[in-house]
Structure 1
Amino acid sequence: MIRTTAFRTAIVAFAIGLSGLAKAQDAPTHPVHETNSVSIPAKDIKFFKAGVKAAAGELEAGPAYGNLQTGHHGTFIHMPAGFISAVHTHTEDYYAVVVKGVGANDPVGAKPKPLAVGSYWFQRGEEDHVTRCLSKTDCLFFIVQPGKFDYVAAK
């Protein structure tokens, strides 16, 4: 019985080891790089009207890399002071950092949680939410998204 148990334990350990080896063999042998290194001074970021409007004005987008209209991207979003979005979703998840002003990004009906410069939020795709610029000065956010940016107003 002890030999059988030891044999079974050895077989399980061997199988687990092979599983780990298969995963290690599937891993890249070198780092994957997206593109060449780049540095863009703030004054050289070209903003354009994003088509998302509220009483306070319209969002503007300034690409850092990629293309928000077609796929993976990192983009600066300029939001006018006092801007409050309609309830909306995005198809893709996105990650955001507050660069200027005080923003908020909350589920529908939640009390806005002020996010000062340096704050971060993650927004799951296909989840209703409201985004705001709470400060008296304009807000600037930097977002990273694995796919294209869309703005789908809630029904």
Structure 2
Amino acid sequence: MNRKTIIAAALALAIGGSSLAFAQDSAHPAHEGPSVSIPADQIKFFATGVKAEKGELQAGPAYGDLQHGRHGTFIHMPAGFVSAVHTHTEDYFGVVIKGVGANQLPGGKIIPLKPGSYWFQKGEEAHVTQCLSKEDCLFFIVQPGKFDYVPVK
């Protein structure tokens, strides 16, 4: 083997080995847990305590535990619900499943998000989330840490 081949092979082993070590690191588990399949009518929703004039947000766990760490959770938001200006410690990703929602900075442009639409919310950034439709909204959020809701004074 020539010198370039040996260097390339060593580099490939180093990169491959470091990514394998990352995947197996206990702080970064390679898997979230067991595989699951949950029919929509079997998602168990519970009250979150986050309320507005139009009602209260309900959460339905898909994986993980939103109260303690990494999770994927269905959020049921009543029609016409408008949150207070608030933040979350962690970033999160949201997808609209039902209804028309919006997520924007306070006083920012409201962009209607129909089913299949996506948004990303940066952690610790003030924002408002709402259900614009006459029907209730259903969102799916994924968050790398526990869910919190911190009203902005």
TM-score w.r.t. length of structure 2: 0.86
Letter in 2 for 1:25: G
Partner of 1:28: helix, strand, or coil?
A: helix
1:113 corresponds to 2:105: no
Distance 1:23 1:38 in 2: 32
Instruction: Report whether the alignment pairs 1:38 with 2:30.
Output: no
Q: Name the CA distance, whole Å, in 2 between partners of 1:25 and 1:39.
A: 33
Shift, 1:33, TM fit: 2.4
The correspondence for 1:138, drawn from 133, 136, 139, is 136
Shift of 1:18: 6.0
Aligned residues: 144
Q: Which moved more, 1:83-92 or 1:21-30?
A: 21-30
2:102 is paired with a residue of what secondary structure?
strand
Letter in 1 for 2:114: A
**1:97-120 superposed Cα distances (whole Å, 9 cap, x missing partner):** 000000000011112100000000
Name which one, 1 or 2, has greater alpha-carbon Rg. 1
Q: 1:81 aligns with which of 61, 79, 82?
A: 79
CA RMSD for the aligned pairs?
A: 2.3
**1:96 counterpart SS class:** strand
Sequence identity percentage: 67
TM-score, normalised to structure 1's length? Answer: 0.85
Map 1:8-47 onto structure 2 (within 5 A). 21-28=13-20, 32-47=30-45
For 1:81, give the aligned amino acid.
A
**Which blocks of at least 5 consecutive residues in structure 2 are unaligned?**
25-29
Alignment of 1:67-106 (within 5 A): 67-106=65-104
Per-residue deviation, 1:43: 0.8
* CA distance in 1: counterparts of 2:138 and 2:35, whole angstroms: 23
